[in-house]
Structure 1
Amino acid sequence: MAIPSPLPISAADSSPPGLAIAPVRVPRSMPPLDLLASRLLINSSGRRNVPSSWKLRAGLTAIEPDLNEDKYDRWRTNGVSPEDFKYGEYDGHHTYYEGNEGNFLESVAKEYEAAGPPTGFQGLISWLFLPAIFTGLAFHVPGEYLYIAAAAFTVVFCAIEIGKPDQPHNFEPEIYNMDREARDKMIKTYNTMDVWDFNEKYGELWDFTVPHEDIIKQLKSLD
């Protein structure tokens, strides 16, 4: 009677009992389990679906927000009744007054007056400065005389400009937070007093970190 041959012994079974088995290596392309669990989506039927990789990369798994499908009124006045709404002023539309601004020369004159140009003798020397320079160049006046004339013009122009009374926009922005009556009287006093005398009397007013109720009351009491 033939004896059946024993089964082949594998390499793992033939290893000695004291030798540890090498760990199984996981390929790097396989994502961690917690990342897969975080990408699970539950549909309306309660079943969990793992979205495909191309949907994740394309961002198609994000929940789309609700869209505002209400009718949009392009002529709305934002809380102001149409009767009280000043069109062209509240909305700042640049074509509302189109055609009512006059001709080109009138618009240039308005822009020039809005800039606060020099007037009087200061305006006269300002208008004559460039023609005088070109006339000197045309008659071959030495450059030293032109430089002296330009320096004299600069000194005279700046002296007249410094002598002008200060306006509210010449002061610090914190001045506009003052009481209007006290601010106007302060500017009037500043223009009529010497700057050193004003700083000696009202110098603490420039410290805007603390209130100056006493100085404001003193300014409001002036005539």
Structure 2
Amino acid sequence: MELKSFKFDLDERQVKWIFSPLRDKIQVIELLMKIIKIILVDDKLDSERIKGKVVLRVSKMSRLFFFSEDKFFSINFPFLVFHANKDLSFQSKNGNKVDNKVTSDVLGLLASEVLLSSDHVLEFADPVADIEDYNSGFWSLLKELLLFEDGYIRYDYDDKHVNGQRHPLNHLDIFYCSGSTFKIGLRQRITDNHLMDLLDLETDSHFLERL
């Protein structure tokens, strides 16, 4: 499959919230919905306002890559990508259009404190059913989001918390939940292209060296 790569610039405000720590799947879904909004608007920034970038790469893999000065991370992009007349559009694997309205519906649903804290299934189902009344594919889309594997990986150049080989200056963080995350130390700083190549299924694999 031909590699397609789309870059979008980020300002200081966007970099601040995008690089806030992710702690659970809901936060990943919220990030994904907000990034789709940024991509659909595709606001062009003056060079002095650019503080980071997001890159959508589509080939045998589909991933979002986020880059700031000292931190990079990547998540899986679970939607089909269409590119026509210089515009991007997205569709779920079940054929549901993923547009600005849908992303707002998902974000509004996830922002409800009652929705995910309640012990009663109907308090989850009722607001989903309300949206389903005017978007017949919404539950199918939401189910895809709740079940998709996010494939999170982050690179840090962390001079504030460096602690020998326990917390290397350069390292990869695999996963984000405290019960499953771990670090892989790196001998030197890497670039954005290094991370994209590491995760590209159509380039040579990288290897870990045993000490």
The structure richer in strand per residue is 2
Q: TM-score range by the shorter chain?
A: under 0.3
Higher helix share: 1
TM-score (ref. length: structure 2): 0.23
Higher RCO, 1 vs 2 (CA within 8 Å, ≥6 residues apart): 2
Bigger Cα Rg: 1
